[in-house]
């Protein structure tokens, strides 16, 4: 398993406090890149005023930095493109009754 895949597995343990699905399956993680021992995670939130706006990016940073081989992780928050429910995995859409 690559370091990128390990980071994604760690991120999958983070759940939005209001939705019973992990943030990766919700489609909140746009990209994960690894350059040497540094990771960069591009993510969004379900809404700019999301109550978890301060908590989730910090939790992603901590989880990414917990992966062996990563010494530093940068989490970049973006709202371009804005999150839409169609960004969720099929599994997440089934879990939440959208399919």
- What CATH number is given to the structural domain containing 52? 3.30.300.130
CA pair distance 67, 98, nearest whole angstrom: 33
Q: How high is the pLDDT of residue 17?
A: 82
Boundaries of domain holding 43: 3-81
Number of folded domains that form the chain:
1
CA pair distance 17, 51, nearest whole angstrom: 9
Q: Is the peptide bond before 21 cis (omega within 30 degrees of 0)?
A: no
- β-bridge partners, 40: 33, 74
Q: Using alpha carbons, select from 21, 3, 11, 13 the residue that is nearest to residue 69.
A: 3
Q: Is residue 96 a part of any domain in this protein?
A: no
H-state helical runs in 1-99: 3-11, 55-65, 90-95
Q: Is residue 22 a part of any domain in this protein?
A: yes
How confident is the model over 19-32, as pLDDT tens digits? 889 999 999 999 99
Q: Is residue 42 a part of any domain in this protein?
A: yes
Q: Is residue 8 a part of any domain in this protein?
A: yes
CA pair distance 99, 95, nearest whole angstrom: 9
Q: How high is the pLDDT of residue 11?
A: 98
Q: Compare 99 and 97 and report the one with higher pLDDT.
A: 97
Q: How high is the pLDDT of residue 40?
A: 98
Q: How high is the pLDDT of residue 57?
A: 95
How confident is the model over 34-85, as pLDDT tens digits? 999 999 999 999 888 878 788 999 999 999 999 999 999 999 999 999 999 8
Q: How high is the pLDDT of residue 47?
A: 85
């Amino acid at each position: 398993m690559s370091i990128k895949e390990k980071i994604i597995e760690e991120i999958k343990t983070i759940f939005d406090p209001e939705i019973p699905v992990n943030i990766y399956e919700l489609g909140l993680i746009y990209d994960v890149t690894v350059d040497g021992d540094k990771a960069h995670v591009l993510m969004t939130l379900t809404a700019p005023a999301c109550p978890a706006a301060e908590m989730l990016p910090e939790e992603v940073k901590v989880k990414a930095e917990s992966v062996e081989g990563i010494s530093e992780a940068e989490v970049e928050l973006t709202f371009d493109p804005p999150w839409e429910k169609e960004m969720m995995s099929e599994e997440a859409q089934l879990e939440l009754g959208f399919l």
